Amino acid sequence: MGKDDQRKTLLELIEYHNTNMVSVLKPGTMKNYYTTERYLNKFLVQKLKINDIFLKQLNYRFIIDFERFLRNYSPTSKRKALGNNGVMKHLERFKKMIHLLLSWNGWLKILLASFN
């Protein structure tokens, strides 16, 4: 199919997480993960001007920029901007997805190989 296993992306990670956790987590919790996914998508499109990012490109700056995006994001609807607790919950959920990545034996090897 021409798809390279060494080119795993953030959206693939999120899709994997959501697919596997939908049977484990309660619907309200999954709703929160879907919201975090929407914020990540908005961040990628609005700030980075891309639709997806390779996992090997994730770094500390990406996380800091995502946090800054969340803190400064002003919704177009009647919703309020995120407070500190909301920002921290989205970062916590993002961190959980990254830890899931690290627990994937194959993906961790691919990431480590990409740095050599």
pLDDT digits 0-9 by tens, 41-82: 999 999 999 999 998 898 999 999 999 999 999 988 888 899
11 CB-near residues (< 8 Å, 6+ apart): 41, 51, 52
Distance CA 44, CA 38 (A): 10
Token pair for 84: 């500190």
3-state secondary structure the chain: CCCCHHHCEHHHHHHHHHHHHCCCCCHHHHHHHHHHHHHHHHHHHHHCCCCCCEHHHCCHHHHHHHHHHHHHCCCCCCCCCCCHHHHHHHHHHHHHHHHHHHHCHHHHHHHHHHCC
Q: Which domain holds residue 56?
A: 5-114
pTM above 0.95, yes or no: no
Distance CA 111, CA 107 (A): 6
Structural domains of the chain, count: 1
User: What CATH code is carried by the domain that includes residue 47?
Assistant: 1.10.150
pLDDT digits 0-9 by tens, 6-27: 678 999 999 989 998 999 999 9
